[in-house]
Amino acid sequence: MSMQDNDLQPEEFAQAAAEAIADAQARGFRETGQVLAAAGLCGVCAAEEAGGLALGIEFALPIVTEAGRLRLQWPLLETLLIAKALGTSPLAAELCSGERAATWALQGSLQDGFAGHARHAQQADWVLVADGRGGGALLDLSSVETETDEALDPEHPQCFLMLEGAKVLAEFGAAAFAALQRDLQILVAGWAHGAAEGALATTAGYMATRVQFGRPLSAKQAVRHHLAKMRLLQEAAGAGIRRVLRADEFGGERGTRAVLAQALDSAAFVLEKSIHLHGGMGFTWEVPLHRALREVRKFDAAFGAGALARQAGRDFIQSV
Amino acid sequence: MHTEQHPALAAAAEGPAAYRQYARQWLRSHLPEHMRADSLDYRAPTLDECRAWEASMYEAGLAGMTWPTAYGGMGLTLREHLIVNKEVGALLMPESVSSIGKELAGPIIQTVGTEEQKQQFLPRILAMHDYWCQGFSEPDAGSDLARLRTKAVPEGDTWRINGQKIWTSGAAKAHYCLLLTRTGTVADKHRGLLMFAVPMDTPGIRVVPIKSIDGKESFAEVFFDNVVVPDSARLGAPDEGWNAAIRVLSIERATNRMYRAWRFEAELRHLVAACKSDPALAKLLDDGHHQRRIGEVLGQIDALKGLVEHTVDQMTAGARIGARGSLTKLFWSECHQAFMGLALSLVSQVTPRSSPQARRARKAFANAYLYARAETIYAGTTEVQLDIIAQRIMDLPKDLA
């Protein structure tokens, strides 16, 4: 199946993805994977021979954005990207079918013998790590010693991984790994954007109905301006993410670092303000906005908390 | 009027790549060196030099891209408009000295003007024969035009106008004023508003320049004391003309100065190049804080470009853009103003021993920093834009349902 064959539009995937994700969320880790896979989400970019849909990353973006909006706690973006990278390998089929789940350790390398910032590594089967020579390696998590990092999120901790003696399932060359990293940055931006979108919708709805001094809080100019600024940042970040999918004026690929940095910053701002605007309720576990904030902050930390923007700045300075 | 043989139209017919190449090549080969803000030969261009430059752009088919050919335009689409704007933005050329005519008066006249008015005014705006100023704001009516006091009273086939305008850009050089008046009283609020195209040499008009933060006197107070204009100066009927203008303005807010994101990038490039030309300033660029800020600015520029391109896509597809122009204006003005603070902090380290490029950049960015104070004020302040987003995009209620 291809976009040309069926005139599929990426945005049409959002609603179907939302339904599947909502259905999956109440289930355990394994069953969630099967529900997501049955909806075609795990294999959206994977080869047809592996049971995938062989669609471009632009089709994965609305799916992952919905996952962010609904605060899905499952390594969907990692699984669908690794399934794509595995091509026609039988391993890809295991990911597409939901039989296996894969995650990605965003820091460290096989060469270092140590990696970190892997989401859901306690439940996932495989983990992708940098090999330290520009490429990547897919490892069997059962062969890896893990240590949870509960500082930001005790419910869904990231994991540090000791990689000595790890079993390598597949290897990716430097070009393939770089392409995968680019896709990852786009999808993480999409996830963060979706998470913030969900929070903004919840917050705007609450402000419109929460009555104080005889009027909804949304009547207060200070509140309206907070919400309008959040809307502005969402629109701007979304525009940047959409744009990075399109080739530049000369057919070249656009850089993703600055766009991801902007998306993470904006999402953190929107989520923090959403919690603030919910007042005392926002500070408690009564509203689940903190889950999205934890996740965005975990991604931010994994990408070096400002390192993306610094690198984008360095690259630009060198280019002038 | 341009003919089909015009090289710009021929390039447009070949497709976007050819048209972009034509615009890029023409602009880069014709922009006088002394008009480039990043050139060591830069000097502030005179009004005549700016007029000549913009007139030559028009002759080259690089102005009035979307205006109808019947009124001197190129009859092309917003896509060509965007292509030219990207190339205009990539060069640090002077701002248009006729932006009120090209981006405000022209589109309004196209919508509400009579055929005679269109023929009279539009080609002369594009050809840089006539400059316009905008007579909307008053001392007691900035964003709140319901408080407008300047009054127009009918007298047979003429109108008698009395009142005062303020913050009127370019009034001293303008040939015409796009003047907003009311036919009733202030109690009528937004009812009874009427627009005119008033020749600035009409007896009774007095222009008093106001010095602005950047030391220029491009602002002015404009007094209308018993100014009598013929009925043919009226743009539309009372209410009708203004209401149509509001619709035009919401579109214009999204489509005018489309080059800003690309100009923003060119300014950043100028700043970095100037810093790299000087050992002391280059050291500042090695600092992680500055690298991060520059990376953040790049992310903002990407987002801004995305907003502009999305607007063009939407409008080309026939979608209504509503108040979305406020998003672009607000995001640009806030980010650009903050960038100018960063630029000023970097060039503040310039000394008489710094490189010539760094010294040039200090002048350029100090001036730009001061002028950037206006960016969150004109065309609707930040607070007005936030109100528009809250009201018209988010539909946030002010009362219980």
Q: What is the pLDDT along chain A (320 residues), one digit of tens a residue?
A: 344 445 778 888 899 999 999 999 989 999 999 999 999 999 999 999 999 999 999 999 999 999 999 999 999 999 999 999 999 999 999 999 999 999 999 999 999 999 999 999 999 999 999 999 999 999 999 999 999 999 999 999 999 999 999 999 999 999 999 999 999 999 999 999 999 999 999 999 999 999 999 999 999 999 999 999 999 999 999 999 999 999 998 889 999 999 999 999 999 999 999 999 999 999 888 899 999 999 999 999 999 989 999 999 999 999 99
| CB proximity list for A212: less than 8 A, separation 6 or greater | none
Instruction: Establish if A61 touches chain B: CB-CB under 8 angstroms.
Output: no
Q: Give A 173-202 residues with CB within 8 A of chain B.
A: none
Which pTM does this prediction carry? 0.94
More confident residue, B307 or B250: B307
Instruction: Establish if B313 touches chain A: CB-CB under 8 angstroms.
Output: no
Instruction: Establish if A205 touches chain B: CB-CB under 8 angstroms.
Output: no
Q: Indicate the residue of B292, B393, B396 with minimum beta-carbon distance to A310.
A: B292
Chain B nearest-CA residue for A207: B396
The verdict on residue B119 lying in a domain is no
CA distances for B360 relative to B39, B40, B88, B373, angstroms: 8, 7, 21, 21
Q: In this structure, what CATH number is given to the domain that contains residue B151?
A: 2.40.110.10
B230 and B263, same structural domain? no
B278 and B169, same structural domain? no
Q: At what angle do helices A57-69 and A12-25 cross, to 10 degrees?
A: 40
For residue B72, pLDDT beyond 70 = yes
Q: Give A 279-308 residues with CB within 8 A of chain B.
A: 306, 308
Measured over the CA atoms of residue B49, residue B54, residue B55 and residue B59, the dihedral's sign is: positive
In chain A, beta strands by DSSP E: 102-109, 114-118, 126-130, 136-140, 145-149, 158-162, 168-172, 211-212, 215-216
pLDDT one-digit tens code per residue, B234-244: 999 887 777 87
Q: Would you call A215 and B291 a contact, using CB atoms and an 8 Å cutoff? A: no
B137 and B27, same structural domain? no
B43 and B144, same structural domain? no
Domain end: B173, B205, B237, which one? Answer: B237
For residue B3, pLDDT beyond 80 = no
Size of interface A-B (CB pairs under 8 A): 149
The verdict on residue B27 lying in a domain is yes
Q: Please, which residues bridge with residue B230 across strands? A: B158
Q: Indicate the residue of B331, B386, B400 with minimum beta-carbon distance to A225.
A: B386
Backbone φ, ψ for residue B219 (5° rounding): -80, 160
B293 and B348, same structural domain? yes
pLDDT one-digit tens code per residue, B24-55: 999 999 999 999 999 999 999 999 999 999 99
Nearest to A298 by CA among A43, A125, A119, A53: A119
User: Which residue range forms the structural domain that includes residue B197?
Assistant: 132-237
Q: In this structure, what CATH number is given to the domain that contains residue B312?
A: 1.20.140.10
For residue B190, pLDDT beyond 80 = no
Which domains are delineated in chain A?
1-100 (1.10.540), 101-172 (2.40.110.10), 176-319 (1.20.140.10)
| CB proximity list for B184: less than 8 A, separation 6 or greater | B191, B192
pLDDT one-digit tens code per residue, A184-224: 999 999 999 999 999 999 999 999 999 999 999 999 999 99
The verdict on residue B138 lying in a domain is yes
B263 and B220, same structural domain? no
Q: B235: exposed, middle or buried (C-beta count within 10 Å: 0-12, 13-18, 19+)?
A: buried
Q: Indicate the residue of A219, A242, A261 with minimum beta-carbon distance to B296.
A: A261
Q: What is the pLDDT of residue B76?
A: 97
Q: Would you call B291 and A314 a contact, using CB atoms and an 8 Å cutoff? A: yes
Backbone φ, ψ for residue A220 (5° rounding): -75, 130
- A186/chain B closest Cα distance in angstroms: 13
Q: What is the pLDDT of residue A115?
A: 97
Measured between alpha carbons, how far is B273 from B51 in angstroms, rounded to an integer? Answer: 29
Domain end: B97, B121, B156, which one? Answer: B97
B88 and B136, same structural domain? no
Q: Are B48 and B221 in contact (CB under 8 A)?
A: no
Interface test with B, best of A248, A308, A314 (most B CBs within 10 A): A314
Q: Are A97 and A52 in contact (CB under 8 A)?
A: no
- In chain A, residues with a C-beta closer than 8 Å to the C-beta of B300 are 236, 262
B213 and B287, same structural domain? no
Q: Indicate the residue of A218, A244, A317 with minimum beta-carbon distance to B294.
A: A317
Chain B nearest-CA residue for A239: B306
| CB proximity list for B157: less than 8 A, separation 6 or greater | B230, B231
Q: What is the pLDDT of residue B323?
A: 87
Instruction: Establish if B1 touches chain A: CB-CB under 8 angstroms.
Output: no
Which residue bears the tokens 């349902």? B401
Tokens of B345: 């902090």
Tokens of B378: 């004109």
DSSP classification of residue B96: P
Q: Are A122 and A131 in contact (CB under 8 A)?
A: no
Q: Would you call A312 and B295 a contact, using CB atoms and an 8 Å cutoff? A: yes
The verdict on residue B191 lying in a domain is yes
The verdict on residue B57 lying in a domain is yes
The verdict on residue B309 lying in a domain is yes
DSSP classification of residue B196: E
**Cα B369 from chain centroid?**
18
Measured between alpha carbons, how far is B141 from B246 in angstroms, rounded to an integer? Answer: 16
- In chain B, residues with a C-beta closer than 8 Å to the C-beta of A229 are 386
Q: Are A41 and A20 in contact (CB under 8 A)?
A: yes
Interface test with B, best of A211, A224, A253 (most B CBs within 10 A): A224
Q: Indicate the residue of A215, A229, A232 with minimum beta-carbon distance to B399.
A: A215
B83 and B172, same structural domain? no
Q: Are B36 and B42 in contact (CB under 8 A)?
A: yes
| CB proximity list for A203: less than 8 A, separation 6 or greater | A227, A230, A273, A274, A277, A278, A289
Q: Indicate the residue of A208, A219, A235 with minimum beta-carbon distance to B327.
A: A235
A5-11: Cβ within 8 A, 24+ apart: A8/A55, A8/A59, A10/A58, A10/A59, A10/A61, A10/A62, A11/A62
B387 and B280, same structural domain? yes
Torsion angle, alpha carbons of A183, A13, A245, B80, to 10: 180
Domain end: B45, B80, B97, which one? Answer: B97
Averaged pLDDT, B61-80:
96
Instruction: Establish if A310 touches chain B: CB-CB under 8 angstroms.
Output: yes
Q: What is the pLDDT of residue A133?
A: 96
The verdict on residue B13 lying in a domain is yes
Backbone φ, ψ for residue A111 (5° rounding): -65, -40
Reported ipTM: the value is 0.93
Cα angle B73, B75, B78 (rounded to 5 degrees) comes to 105
Which residue bears the tokens 């910053």? A265
B163 and B278, same structural domain? no
Nearest to B294 by CA among A244, A85, A157, A315: A315
Q: Would you call A228 and B394 a contact, using CB atoms and an 8 Å cutoff? A: yes
Nearest to A286 by CA among A202, A186, A223: A202
Q: A176: exposed, middle or buried (C-beta count within 10 Å: 0-12, 13-18, 19+)?
A: middle
Q: Would you call A262 and B400 a contact, using CB atoms and an 8 Å cutoff? A: no
Q: Would you call B306 and A243 a contact, using CB atoms and an 8 Å cutoff? A: yes
Tokens of B319: 């979608």
Q: Are B88 and B95 in contact (CB under 8 A)?
A: no
Q: What is the DSSP string of B28-81?
A: HHHS-GGG-TTSTT--PPPHHHHHHHHHHHHHTT-S-TTS-GGGT-----HHHH
The verdict on residue B244 lying in a domain is no
Question: For chain B, how many structural domains are there in total?
Answer: 3
Q: What is the pLDDT of residue A124?
A: 98
- In chain A, residues with a C-beta closer than 8 Å to the C-beta of B298 are 258, 309, 312-313, 316
Interface test with B, best of A233, A259, A274, A316 (most B CBs within 10 A): A316
Measured between alpha carbons, how far is B131 from B117 in angstroms, rounded to an integer? Answer: 15
Q: Would you call B20 and A232 a contact, using CB atoms and an 8 Å cutoff? A: no
**Cα B38 from chain centroid?**
21
B389 and B291, same structural domain? yes
- In chain B, residues with a C-beta closer than 8 Å to the C-beta of A211 are 400
Instruction: Establish if A257 touches chain B: CB-CB under 8 angstroms.
Output: yes
Q: Indicate the residue of A229, A237, A254 with minimum beta-carbon distance to B303.
A: A237
**Cα B397 from chain centroid?**
32
For residue B178, pLDDT beyond 70 = yes
Instruction: Establish if A218 touches chain B: CB-CB under 8 angstroms.
Output: yes
Instruction: Establish if A128 touches chain B: CB-CB under 8 angstroms.
Output: no
Q: Indicate the residue of B293, B303, B396 with minimum beta-carbon distance to A262.
A: B303
Q: What is the pLDDT of residue B380?
A: 85
Backbone φ, ψ for residue A28 (5° rounding): -75, 175
Q: Indicate the residue of B20, B299, B310 with minimum beta-carbon distance to A262.
A: B299
Q: What is the pLDDT of residue A219?
A: 97
Instruction: Establish if B211 touches chain A: CB-CB under 8 angstroms.
Output: no
